[in-house]
Amino acid sequence: MSGTLGGVLCGGVGVFLLGCALSEGVQMRRLRRHGLHTHGVVVDNVRVRSEDGPQWRMAAMIRPVRVLFLPVVLLFPLLLAGCGTEKAGAGTGVDSSASVAVPSRAELDARARALQIAPELVYVTKAPGFTLAQQSVGVYGDDGFSGVYWAQATNAQIQLSVERGTMTARSCPKQPVGGMAGERTVCERDGDAWYRVGGGRHEYALVEKGHVLKVSGDSTKVTRAVLRSALHSAHRPSDAELAAVLPPARTATAPVERGDLPSTGDGAPDNEVGTSG
């Protein structure tokens, strides 16, 4: 059940119970005003009209009085609290606010190295309407990082990549945009970053200490403003964000033993033909 639907249902139940409680309170107040018991076991009270005005007539059948007002009032805040325990961020792909134990930094670094990624080159970002596709996370170049953010509404993609190196006014035109070799690259300085266009794609490249951070996308699907926003939002992840981005490291498994390998010799499989041919 989605968080929105669950919240609506919980809110509806809470309003219904509150309405029942208020109705019960009004009825008990009317009973007290006419001098009738509102606790224990009382006879049924029926309102009738007479010459002297409205009166209450006691019927012969006995039933337990309704005393739901206090329990409902006490349970109402608990109901609302229970409905609010669901974490936000459903459908975001990566939820760094989930109430799970965050691994140690050493374990998170081991996850990165298992993907051949240098831990110090892992970055995350955010852009309106875009969610990180976790299956896209992987190594870029020798030990760099790459991840793709996807917009479900437009099917547009933003690639975030980080690799060692630098970029200058001289080298910028020689480095293809998005790895599209053979395409002409046009570079333009925009603040501290380079805005680059080529091969139907455009990107922002920011030179950091010893590495270059890039955000790129299809020039027909991702606007320059969105790329600029993604660049400014890029940052080194917290432990919780890193745990949500990097998949758990695979556990080592013992090799499968083959029954057709001889215990002596060079270990070649035994392919001798049996007596049956």
Burial of 125 (0-12, 13-18, 19+ CB in 10 A): buried
Which residues, given as ranges, of the chain have pLDDT below 50?
1-2, 41-43, 58-70, 72-73, 79-80, 84-93, 95, 98
Tokens of 115: 């993907």
Nearest Cα residue to 123 out of 30, 224, 206: 206
Nearest Cα residue to 197 out of 222, 223, 176: 176
Place of tokens 């970002």: 125
Which sign, positive or negative, has the C-alpha torsion 19, 20, 24, 27?
A: positive
pLDDT value for 207: 97
pLDDT value for 23: 75
User: What separation in angstroms does the CA of 27 have from each of 33, 66, 72, 75?
Assistant: 10, 10, 15, 20
Nearest Cα residue to 234 out of 96, 103, 124: 124
Rg, Å, the chain Cα set? 34
- pTM for this predicted structure: 0.58
| DSSP letter (8 states) at residue 177 | G
Burial of 213 (0-12, 13-18, 19+ CB in 10 A): buried
pLDDT value for 93: 39
pLDDT value for 192: 96
Place of tokens 């110090």: 120
